[in-house]
Amino acid sequence: MNHKFYNNLGLAMRARKLATGDEIVLKAVRSGEAKLVIMAEDASDNTKKKFQDKCSTYNVPLLITSTRGELGASIGKEARVLIAVLDTGFAKMLKQPVITAEVKGID
């Protein structure tokens, strides 16, 4: 992932629009509060299957990205495997692919 993604994730944390931890994220998915679930790519196979199934059942988008250390650092916490985004605006912002353009000098 890129710096913009991590910066936006940190912004969502400061706005108190994130939930972290297995049980809290699962509760947010079941209650419909979660608009997006972000999972670390180094999560255990059991966790991956559990949350892929739950997110599919409850129609919550699931984004698998980076490592638990990178996710935790981006929100100012220790390593985090699961993060639920509780705000629609932040979820849209975090799901968007980042387009980078090469800037060329003028001859």
pLDDT at residue 77 is higher than 60:
yes
25 vs 76: CA distance, rounded Å = 18
Q: Which residues pair with 64 in a beta bridge?
A: 39
- Residue 14's Cβ-count burial label (10 Å; 0-12, 13-18, 19+) is exposed
* Radius of gyration, alpha carbons of the chain: 15
Output the pTM of the full model: 0.85
Quote the mean pLDDT of the chain. Answer: 88
- Token readout for 14 is 């400061």
99 vs 107: CA distance, rounded Å = 25
- Token readout for 49 is 């299957």
Main-chain phi, psi angles of 89, to 5 degrees: -65, -45
Mean pLDDT of 2-25: 92
pLDDT at residue 33 is higher than 80:
yes
The pLDDT confidence band at residue 101, using thresholds 50, 70 and 90, is very low
pLDDT at residue 98 is higher than 60:
no
- Within 13 Å of residue 50, how many CA atoms lie on the same side as its CB? 14
